[in-house]
Homo-oligomer: A and B are copies of this chain.
Amino acid sequence: MNERGLKGLESRMRLLEAAAAEFARNGFHETKISTIVKKVGLTQPSFYIYFSSKEAIFEELISEFHSNLKKLIESKRLEDNLEHMDLSNRLAEIVENVFLFLKKDPNLTRIGFSLNPKADDLIADLTIILKNNLTTEQQFGYFRPEIDMEIVAKCISAVILHLSFIYVIPGIKDTKSLSLQLVDLFLQGMLNEND
């Protein structure tokens, strides 16, 4: 009775896409529903067939992005494959996966990490998973025991996010080599050993 047909589903999808683009470019408040529907070729009331409010569509975009990202991170637990690759490569692969995910939909990435209250929570979540992984490795003796892995996790999160915005999403740097360089930096440090 309230079933959505194919055409309706497509309109909904196109609204979501258009909204993502607008929110990403202008933020929540400067984004107008009139603009979104115009892009899609609909009128304002149609918007409210599919979404109950401006907040609702924003929320929907964010929460799906967040849950997908969390899923990705959680699936990448280090313990699963501690053996079958050397440490650097395993880490680099994880980092690259995150880069690729964030690059896939730049609009969502921008919205998901914009000044919306839940962005901080998301970063915190990601950081926790990262920290757990790193702590495990540390207990295996791979990392210096005196390092506070909480801080490291927070550093890495910040770095991945920032580099995503300035290098990965704009396509300025290759994700593979960037990941390797990052891992190398964090693993080896900058110091010249010869000194």
Contacts and interface: CB of A to CB of B under 8 A. Distances in A.
Contacts of A192: 141-145
Contacts of A30: 29
A162 interface: yes
Given A152-B185, A166-B154, A187-B189, A195 B141 contact: yes
Contacts of A167: 154
Interface residues of A, number: 44
Which secondary structure characterizes the binding site on chain A? helix
A48 to B, nearest CB: 12
Interface in A135-152: 141-145, 147-148, 151-152
Given A148-B181, A181-B151, A191 B161 contact: no
Contact of A182 (B28, B41, B155, B190): B155
